[in-house]
Amino acid sequence: MSTAITWSTEHDGPLGDSERLTAALSAFVPLRVSDVGGFTNVQEFANLLPMDDIVYVDLSWGPRTIRRPSPKLLSPTEEYYALAAIHSGGETVQMGANSYDLEAGDVVLWDCQAATHLQIPLELHKSAVLVPNHVLDHMSLSASHRQPLEYFNDAPIAPLLRQLLVFFGAHAGPTSPAHRRTRNALLEMALGTIESTRDTQSTSLLPGLRMAVCQWIDDHIYDPDLDPHSIAAAHSVSVRTLHRAFQTETLTLAEVLRVRRLERACDLLGDPLHSVSSVSAKLHFANPSHFSRVFTRHYGLSPSEYRSHTIASMQSSASA
């Protein structure tokens, strides 16, 4: 299946006549439902966007009950797992003897073949990426090590995956080259989210975390509370994991913070409008004297000398 599917109560009528919805969902085996119960006046929709071997799904439901039959009744040609993010509302998921209460912010891995009973008390908006089981097996994440439903809220890159799923929900549309180019990134992010909790000692995700942290530092270099604790919190990892990401690098996290501040200081000192004291304050050094010592130790010039040489060089170039 390579065609995007959309359904909404606005264009396809209420769920009391659910044949159109059932047909749309049944095009993708993991979403087949055997019974849609209840009635609501809430505007609902279902968007399904295939991207090669994965499928993006964006759903909004009102209060209702949904049941999905067992795999024996579905006779699937392909087995999927859904990595889903709950954007708003919530649902109670019954899988065998296990019951799960999902709420906004949860990121879960869902076995799409398991017989499931869903109860949505009010409203629910969620997005998911459906990953074929053979892809997970290829990544050594075999089904034998997975549960019918698992939480991944604490995975290091779960926030990034959630943001990407939200983006697709706001820009859902027919398959396009732009969407296809995001397939690899979306799949890698999904697999990385799953893998990160499979082996807490694994270092396979640390390079990606390190790159994300360095970019985040650059974007927040003027924050007064820029420290390991705030950085770790922003990336949903522990401070210990954050430091592990830099253990094999030339620079530790503390050294990266210092160097990035000094590099930004050089940019500011080249502007005649910025004094040494203002640069020190802007980058939250303890005081101008401390800033001068750190700067001189790193560059071999004091901030004042660097500022004078840089401004003189710029003026010379401008007059040439």
List, in order of start, the domains of the chain with CATH numbers: 5-196 (2.60.120.10), 206-319 (1.10.10.60)
Q: How far is residue 263 from each of residues 26, 87, 182, 315, 320, measured CA to CA in Å?
A: 56, 39, 33, 21, 27
How far apart (Å, rounded) are the C-alpha atoms in residues 164 and 186?
Answer: 8
Mind listing the pLDDT tens digit of every residue in the chain (320 residues)? 456 667 676 666 655 445 655 655 655 544 444 455 555 566 778 777 777 777 788 888 888 887 777 654 444 456 778 888 898 899 999 988 889 999 988 888 888 778 888 889 888 999 888 887 776 655 445 554 567 888 877 777 778 778 877 777 666 554 455 555 566 666 767 766 766 655 444 455 677 788 889 999 999 999 999 999 899 888 767 787 788 889 888 899 999 999 999 999 999 999 989 999 999 999 999 999 999 999 999 999 999 999 999 888 877 776 65
CA 242 to chain centre: 17
Residue 81 has phi, psi (to 5 degrees) of -120, 140
The model carries a pTM of 0.55
